[in-house]
Copies of this chain bind each other. A is one copy, B any other.
Amino acid sequence: MTDRKAHRRPEGSNTVVEVGGVRFGHDPFPVIAGPASIESEGQLMDAAQIVAERGASILRGGTFRSPSSPYTFSGMGRSGLALLEEAGASVGLPTITEVAEGGDADLAAGHTDMLEIGPANMQNFELLRDVGRTGMPVLLNRGPSATIDEWLWSAEYLLAEGNDRIVMCERGIRTFEQSTQNTLDISAVPVVKDQSHLPVIVDPSHAAGNRSLVTPLALAAQGVGADGLAVEVHPSPDEALSDQLQQLDAHGFAALMDALGISRMRQAVDIVDREIVRLFARRRELSLAIGRVKAARGMPVQIPEREDELLAIIREEAVLQKLDPEYVERIFKEILAESRAAQWRDREGPPQLG
């Protein structure tokens, strides 16, 4: 019985996959983004700027597509590859594209930084070997009916070619539930991370098939501990040649990145201030509740030892946080005074707002 190279080894560390400076399995939640299909130079450049400006780590664009119908747009092919290379260079992002046929692998390897294996090809073992041999980083999508074990066996085909630069991508399995395109198997992330040393990311766009679910599912992926995200972004989704319903526009992508806390806006001072105020409100509620217990038990509003203990805790935390403890104590004395006042008011009747 041959050991499986994709499996976690006792004492073994996790594999970090580096793609043009982005490190899956190390960096905090890198985001792969771009259009389902490269449709024109203008469309791709617009998409590249949208995703680069809002914090994406890697630019993705499909040029060798495998539509289920032989009669529909199957991608720009080789010419799309040149556009992708150019767009990545112009916005300073590494690039990735899907390859579906053996011949594409070598071709794409010369123009991009990472190759993607689509879900329909997860068990196209010839393609896996060809891609493995390029030595390029690989994004390996799970097939919609593949068990986790079969998915890891497909990774094994790449590993058997000496290529361990593999990022696993969960993008939904096929179930009876029809309100989403596929059912995102969010549990697959911790299961793969438990069994394997490879990084795992999530593609909420293909899982949901519906752009309104992309942000909540991305936050679920972040919560569950995924190593990143792959999403579809198009400058004008309604005019896209494929996957219209699931591609985000510039606004949607900005909102996603914002929600993920990657954008700078979330750290604006006003917002932190709002949070401080909310905590004051929370503290007041707790303090009033305690006040009522004290009243019920006939205890005084002010218990000096408790206040001393509390201020000691505060000073300790301030030092820990490298804040001036005098300054913090001043503020908390203010807070405690207000707290006592509120408790007094509460003893006299329903709480009065000042």
Q: Are B123 and A66 in contact (CB under 8 A)?
A: yes
Q: Are B273 and A313 in contact (CB under 8 A)?
A: yes
Q: Are B281 and A269 in contact (CB under 8 A)?
A: no
Of the candidates B66, B187, B274, the one whose C-beta lies within 8 Å of that of A213 is: B187
Residues 175-209 of chain A, each 1 if its beta carbon lies under 8 Å from chain B, else 0 = 11111100111111111001000000000000110
Is A241 part of the binding interface, using a Cβ–Cβ cutoff of 8 Å?
no
Q: Are B69 and A153 in contact (CB under 8 A)?
A: yes
Is A334 part of the binding interface, using a Cβ–Cβ cutoff of 8 Å?
yes
Number of copies: 4
Is A217 part of the binding interface, using a Cβ–Cβ cutoff of 8 Å?
yes
Is A314 part of the binding interface, using a Cβ–Cβ cutoff of 8 Å?
yes
Is A220 part of the binding interface, using a Cβ–Cβ cutoff of 8 Å?
yes
Q: How far is the CA of A2 from the CA of B324 in the complex (A)?
A: 64
Nearest-CB distance from A266 to chain B (Å)? 9
Q: A126-B100, A143-B145, A174-B174 are in contact. Are A353 and B180 (CB under 8 A)?
A: no
Which residues from chain A sit less than 8 Å from chain B, CB to CB? 2, 66, 68-71, 100-102, 120-121, 123-127, 129, 143-145, 147-150, 153-154, 156-157, 160, 173-180, 183-191, 194, 207-208, 212-213, 216-217, 219-225, 267-270, 272-284, 286-287, 290, 310, 313-314, 317-318, 321-328, 330-332, 334-335, 338, 353-354
A-B contact pairs, 16 of them (CB 8 A): A68-B123, A70-B156, A70-B160, A144-B145, A148-B179, A149-B179, A180-B187, A180-B191, A183-B187, A216-B225, A219-B223, A219-B225, A277-B323, A279-B279, A281-B323, A330-B334
